[in-house]
């Protein structure tokens, strides 16, 4: 992935980059939002769509940065934050050392997204009272509404217990605390993630068939991605359980 990632800069000494696949998401979001703003002249609609897509970019970066900063609190360094086709990922140097740390690192992202949604909602309320009717108020209102919805969806969607999503990592932490076996917990969480991935694929296929709208094919792609990740992680976990402790430590590092 590194060769196909555009380096943007550093935040808190963490490399931030965008995989080329994210450019497709940016273009798609800009066009979709512009088409939804039919009341505006086309150039303004596309410009506003581009700004909203940038707001989504910033929201995902903030989500991943929250993971990274909480991981740093527990002594785990983050090498990079990368946005790609299906969202973002914070690349940690190692796994958190305890179930508590694992759960808190996972929950930090959805908590940040929920906080951003609440802040944006508060600003919307303030703007409604402070600004007079007009184009500026309407534009800021639309942008604020989009930020509320985007971060609300990020928060809610990421707590779904589909490993390796945030909710799945929280599930893994709970199972790890109960069994005192991280690999067994990862294996079990991966199996749950596979079930959710299959549900995403099935739901996407059914909605596309019912609406004839290919936009909902996104859920099929997302489900397929999660299915691949879940199967790969489940196989890796089973492999690691069969090797000697020293070899496992090297593999995990």
Active site residues: 64
| Nearby residues of 32 by Cβ (< 8 Å), 6 or more positions away | 49, 215
CA atoms lying within 13 Å on the CB side of residue 164: 16
The 3 state secondary structure assigned to the chain is CHHHEEEEEEECCEEEEEEHHHHHHHHHHHHHHHHHCCCCCHHHHHHHHHHHHHHHHHHHHHHHHHHHHHHHHCCCCEEEEEEECCEEEEEECCCCCCHHHHHHHHHHHHHHHHHHHHHHHHHHHHHHHHCCCCHHHHHHHHHHHHHHHHHHHHHHHHCCCCCCCHHHHHHHHHHHHHHCCHHHHHHHHHHHHHHHHHHHHHHHHHHHHHHCCHHHHHHHHHHHHHHHHHHHHHHHHHHHHCCCHHHHHHHHC
In whole angstroms, give the CA distance from residue 71 to residue 66: 8
């Amino acid at each position: 992935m590194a060769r196909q990632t555009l380096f943007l800069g550093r935040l808190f000494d963490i490399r931030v980059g965008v995989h080329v696949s994210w450019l497709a998401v940016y273009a798609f979001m800009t066009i979709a939002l512009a088409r939804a703003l039919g009341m505006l002249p086309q150039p303004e609609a596309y410009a506003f769509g581009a700004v909203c897509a940038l707001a989504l970019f910033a929201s995902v970066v903030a989500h991943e940065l929250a993971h990274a900063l909480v991981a740093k609190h527990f002594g785990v360094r983050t090498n990079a934050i990368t946005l790609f086709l299906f969202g973002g990922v914070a690349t940690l140097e190692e796994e958190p050392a305890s179930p508590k740390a694992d759960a808190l690192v996972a929950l930090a992202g959805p908590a940040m997204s929920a906080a951003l949604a609440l802040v944006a909602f508060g600003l919307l309320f303030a703007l409604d009272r402070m600004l007079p009717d007009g184009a500026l108020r309407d534009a800021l209102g639309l942008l604020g509404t989009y930020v509320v919805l985007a971060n609300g969806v990020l928060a809610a969607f990421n707590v779904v217990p589909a490993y390796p999503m945030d909710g799945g990592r929280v599930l893994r932490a709970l199972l790890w605390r109960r069994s005192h076996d991280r690999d067994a917990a990862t294996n079990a969480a991966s199996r749950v993630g596979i079930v959710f991935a299959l549900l995403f694929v099935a739901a996407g296929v059914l909605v596309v068939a019912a609406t004839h709208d290919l936009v909902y094919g996104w859920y099929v792609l997302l489900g397929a991605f999660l299915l691949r990740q879940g199967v790969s992680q489940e196989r890796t976990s089973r492999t690691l359980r069969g090797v000697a402790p020293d070899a496992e430590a090297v593999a995990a590092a």
